[in-house]
Structure 1
Amino acid sequence: MPDYSREKAHGGRVAGVDEVGRGPLAGPVVAAAVMFLRGVPDDLAGRLDDSKKLRPALRERAFADLHASPSILIGVAAASVAEIERHNILRAAHLAMQRAVARLSRRPELVLVDGNAAPDFGCPAQCVVGGDSRCLSIAAASIVAKVIRDRLMTRLSLRWPGYGWERNAGYGTPAHRAALRAGGITPHHRAAFGTVRQLVLSTSPLSPENAEQPSC
Structure 2
Amino acid sequence: MKPESIADIKQKLVTITTAEDPYVKSLREDSRAGVQTALKQFDRKLEKQVALLKKRQEMSQFEQQAYKEGYQLIAGIDEVGRGPLAGPVISAAVILPKDCDILGLNDSKQLSEAKRNQLFDEINQKAVAIGIGLVDQTEIDAINIYQASKKAMMLAVEQLSKTPDYLLVDAMTLPMETAQQSLIKGDARSISIAAASIIAKVTRDRLMKEYSLEYPFYGFERNAGYGTKEHLLALEEHGITPIHRLTFAPVKNYVK
Match of 1:168 in 2: 223
Match of residue 35 from structure 2: none
| Counterpart for residue 120 of structure 2 | 63
Match for 1:24 among 60, 66, 84? Answer: 84
Q: Offset of 1:107 from its aligned partner?
A: 1.1
Cα RMSD for the two superposed structures: 1.2
Measure how far apart 1:194 and its partner are.
2.4
Structure 1 residue 37 displacement after superposition: 3.0
The answer to whether the aligner puts 1:75 opposite 2:131 as a matched pair is yes
CA displacement at 1:173 relative to structure 2: 0.4
Distance 1:49 1:178 in 2: 33
The one-letter code matched in structure 1 to 2:115 is: L
Indicate whether 1:191 and 2:255 are aligned: no
| Residues 9-68 of structure 1: per-residue CA shift (max 9 Å, x gap) | 111221100000000000000000011133311xx1x31100000000000000001111
CA distance in 1: counterparts of 2:230 and 2:198, whole angstroms: 25
Q: 1:5 aligns with which of 57, 61, 64?
A: 61
Whether 1:93 aligns to 2:149 is yes
Q: Helix, strand or coil: the match of 2:222?
A: helix
Which position in structure 2 is the counterpart of 1:214? none
Q: Which of 40, 53, 75 pairs up with 2:110?
A: 53
2:250 partner SS: helix
Higher deviation after alignment, 96-105 or 1-10: 1-10
Is the counterpart of residue 143 in structure 1 residue 198 in structure 2?
yes
Higher RCO, Cα 8 Å, sep 6+: 1
Deviation at 1:183, TM superposition (A): 0.4
Runs of 4 or more, structure 1, over 2 Å off, are none
Q: Which has the larger radius of gyration?
A: 2
* Structure 1: stretches of 5+ with no match in the other structure: 202-207, 209-216
Q: CA deviation at 1:76?
A: 0.8
Q: What runs of 5+ residues in structure 2 fail to find an aligned partner?
A: 1-54
Task: Tell me how many residue pairs correspond in the alignment.
Answer: 196
Matches of 2:162 and 2:97 in 1, distance apart?
10
What's the secondary structure of 1:23's corresponding residue? coil
TM-score, normalised via structure 2 length: 0.74
1:153-196 residue CA offsets vs partner (Å, 9 max, x unmatched): 00011011110000000000011001001100000000111221
Instruction: Pick from 129, 138, 162 the counterpart of residue 106 of structure 1.
Output: 162
In structure 1, the partner of 2:95 is 35
Shift, 1:119, TM fit:
2.0
The structure with more helix, counted as a fraction of residues:
2
Partner of 2:174: 119
